[in-house]
Amino acid sequence: MLRPRGVAALALGLAVLLTAGCGIRIPADPEGTLEAVEGGTLRAGVSPNGDWIRLGDDQPAGTEADALRAFARAHDATVEWTVGSEEALVRGLENGDLDVVAGGLTDETPWTNKAGMTRPYAESTLADGSTVKLVMLVPLGENAFVSELETFLTAEATRKGTAP
């Protein structure tokens, strides 16, 4: 007769074996954002804000635009830019029209009930001397995508000496 621990260990072992071949990926993207970006298109929404996002002649410029371009390059993707207000861009995330929103957003953004947020990936000192922690917004629940983006942004910020 199996003891309770033995039953639990057997159940865990069976669960691992049964799910190992099922293609389950953790963290997961219910809507497949990371898969769509890899070798495809990163749909980036940007809202002009200081040096983070500036509107250039033909494409957005600035530190966050550069970071999104580099992220796309690292995933063999092109960037499709959408410029708008934060409200319009968050609506785009909710509707599945965008993969990421950038624009000098901080970890105190009011949009967290409508969008996912990366961990703070960089710090910046404002003109008044205060320090803010920068984040980007992503679709709710797209955990594989946000994990990949966070890892990339943190590595870039560490390389540049702006990581929190």
User: What pLDDT score does 25 carry?
Assistant: 58
- Residues 87-92, mean pLDDT to the nearest whole number: 98
User: What pLDDT score does 5 carry?
Assistant: 60
Q: How far is CA 3 from CA 7, 9, 17, in A?
A: 6, 10, 21
Encode pLDDT of 45-64 as tens digits: 999 999 999 997 889 999 99
Question: Mean pLDDT across the chain, nearest whole number?
Answer: 87
- Residues 128-138, mean pLDDT to the nearest whole number: 95
Encode pLDDT of 68-83 as tens digits: 999 999 999 999 999 9
Residue 64 near residue 102, CB atoms below 8 Å: yes
Q: At what angle do helices 63-74 and 143-160 cross, to 10 degrees?
A: 120
User: What pLDDT score does 22 carry?
Assistant: 52
User: What pLDDT score does 77 carry?
Assistant: 98
DSSP string, the chain: ---HHHHHHHHHHHHHHHHHTTT--SS--TT-HHHHHTTTEEEEEE--BTTTBEE-SSSEESHHHHHHHHHHHHTT-EEEEEE--HHHHHHHHHHTS-SEEESS-BTT-GGGGTSEEPPP-EEEE-TTS-EEEE--EE-TT-HHHHHHHHHHHHHHHHHHT---
User: What pLDDT score does 16 carry?
Assistant: 47
Domains by residue range for the chain, with CATH: 30-160 (3.40.190.10)
Q: Is the pLDDT of residue 86 over 70?
A: yes
Question: What whole-number distance in Å separates Cα of residue 71 and Cα of residue 77?
Answer: 8
**pTM tops 0.85, yes or no:** no
Q: Is the pLDDT of residue 137 over 80?
A: yes
